[in-house]
Amino acid sequence: FGERRWWVCVSERPNHKDLLRQILREVCKSSGENTDCSLTDLCTQLQNELSKEKFFLVLDDVWEVKWWEEEVLGTLMAGAMGSKILITSRKKYVSEGMGAFFMHELQEFSFHQSWDLFLKEVLRDGQTEEDSVMHKIKFVGEGIVKKCGGVPLVIKMVGSMMRTKKMSREDRKSLVHSKIWEWKTPAASSSSIEIGGDILPVLMLSYDDLPYYLKSCFAYCCIYPKDYEIERETLIMQCVAHGLIGEGIDVEATANQYIEDLIRWCLIEEIDLKSIKLHHILHDLPLYISGREYGHASTTKHTCPLSLLGVHDAEAHKHNTLETANKVCTLLDDSNSYLQ
């Protein structure tokens, strides 16, 4: 396929026009074009591009089936002979509804696989299993690893936390018997926040163990949409502007160090030297946290008084969300639409 390989995050509630525009941006490597194109024009442009040579397209994190029919299906089927489309979804019925001819269901890690990955992360600094640190982590580590749901990313997060955490025997006992393991994702949030009930306590454990100055920076990241590549410089400037960085001689250098710390904790992913992003699971965590602690909303819901508002819907200007959000101090619009 050469360079004709593209990865597009579909998100939870796509519409035809937004998704086609997003795919076309990726195919053409453009950013601001096609803002005012009609749906018909977008279909025509994308069909022309896809028909040139075969391609490999990944549609990541698909939640619904209904958008797949009509314009989207017809447009993508115009691709050159030999083209492939790979779909990832958390829901089996989505793949079935989209007519997938082959489905590979990812299995969770076994306990032994999970434990090996956990040890690899904990012992990254050159320690061995014979070192005294093993006696300190085994009691609490095995119990926590069992609660990670076999999800590699969550296991790595916990391993990173345990590598840096100094715990007494009493601390280890209290952690194992902590009420945090009884936490579940609130039912009211289940439609918009997808965090497995068993995984939420582990994620919150990693979040709660963060230094206070990293918590707000991490929670702030949820204002960006899922799979969004965040420019490091932009995030640094926004964190500084919001007063999320402690006072010092060079606040920008401090903000950059905060980002490096979050990368080491496996809470954000480094794409390259200039950009980062949150994993899907971890995007839901700061969304849950920010709704609880700071106030956050998307433009697709009724807005209560809040301070952060992300516009990720090209049709957002048709709603009265902005009229009710009278305490917003940050408005992020990545929809390439004109707010009226």
**Which residue's structure tokens are 């006992």?**
173
157 and 259 share a domain?
A: no
pLDDT at 191 over 60: no
Q: What is the pTM of this model?
A: 0.66
Q: How far is CA 23 from CA 60, 61, 71, 81, 280, in A?
A: 12, 14, 13, 19, 19
CATH of the domain at 33: 3.40.50.300
Residue 105 resides in a domain:
no
Mind listing the pLDDT tens digit for each residue in 96-118? 888 888 888 888 899 999 999 98
Report residue 177 as tokens. 């018997």
Total of domains in the chain: 3
Residue 90 reports pLDDT greater than 70: yes
| The predicted structure's pLDDT at residue 314 | 47
Looking at per-residue pLDDT, the higher value among 245 and 71 belongs to 245
pLDDT score recorded for residue 327: 62
Rounded Cα–Cα distance for residues 21 and 23 (Å): 6
73 and 154 inside one domain: no
Residue 6 and residue 53 in contact, taking contact as beta carbons nearer than 8 Å: no
Mean model confidence pLDDT for the chain = 75
At residue 310, the pLDDT reads 55
What average pLDDT does range 207-218 have in this prediction? 85
- One domain for residues 145 and 229: no
Q: Are residues 238 and 149 in the same domain?
A: no
The most confident of 40-44, 108-112, 219-223, 227-231, by mean pLDDT: 108-112
Q: How far is CA 234 from CA 92, 173, 239, 261, in A?
A: 37, 42, 9, 17
Q: Which domain, by its residues, includes 46?
A: 5-97
Averaged pLDDT for residues 289-312: 49
Percentage of the residues of the chain whose pLDDT score is greater than 70: 65
Question: Quick one: 180 and 238 in the same domain?
Answer: no
* Bridge pairing between strands 330-333 and 308-311: parallel
In the predicted model, what is the mean pLDDT of residues 217-241?
Answer: 86
Mean pLDDT score, 87-99: 85
Return d(Cα 194, Cα 285) in angstroms, integer.
Answer: 9
Are 71 and 134 members of one domain? no
Residue 135 has what pLDDT? 61
